[in-house]
Amino acid sequence: MSRALLIVDVQNDFTEGGALAVEGGDAVASAITAHLAAHADDYQVIVASRDWHDPSGDNGGHFSDDPDYVDTWPVHCVADSEGAAYDPLLATDAVTHHIRKGQGKPAYSMFEGTTEDGQTVGAVLTEAGVLTADIVGIATDHCVRASALDAIAHGVLVRILTDLIAGVAPESSDAALAELAHAGAELVESSAG
């Protein structure tokens, strides 16, 4: 049974010091690196996504000078910028597929992005025969949530590794995890094997 690890948006703009920093982001980057060091061989596919927004324009209304932090946001993760780069604490040598999302439009789920050669996450998982996926990354209440819901919709059994995620706010993160559990995701710590 093929298994995937989906690493969502562990980028400089979402970790400490970034444009949309999430508390605990650097710790999550380090913990994912440790998990990969111990478990990379457990996965047939390791997919990492990044927001990769266009440098000009508002990216389909995604960027705003007066953001509501629900549908509009300050400028972040502009293509080829330091903010869009992976957090340096995340080791990406085991990643098999790099996904870029939000190129000119809002995109929360990694399933909305593509590899450099245009392949979707759904296609990557189907081609590899993936039936289960562990999901980690940032932010629990936004892009992790959206990616996990799309993985479930794709027919994959999802585990959220709860010690390898960080959210924007405790209330919205708890709500997202409850929603994911209700949708069929298993909430476990990475040490659960």
Instruction: CATH number of the domain at 152, please.
Output: 3.40.50.850
User: 9 catalytic, yes or no?
Assistant: yes
Identify the active-site residue in 26, 101, 141, 150: 101
Q: For the chain, which residues score pLDDT lower than 50? A: none
Domain that holds residue 89: 2-192
Residue 193 has what pLDDT?
A: 55
From CA 51, how far away is CA 29, in angstroms rounded?
16
Cβ partners under 8 Å of residue 104, min gap 6:
53, 54, 57, 59, 60
Residue 134 has what pLDDT?
A: 98
- The tally of domains found in the chain comes to 1
The amino acid that residue 32 corresponds to is I
User: 41 catalytic, yes or no?
Assistant: no
Q: Bin 64: left if φ > 0, else alpha if -120 < ψ < 50, else beta.
A: beta
User: 77 catalytic, yes or no?
Assistant: no
Cα-based distances in Å from 178 to 33, 81, 92, 118, 175: 26, 34, 29, 33, 5
Identify the active-site residue in 9, 13, 87, 134: 9
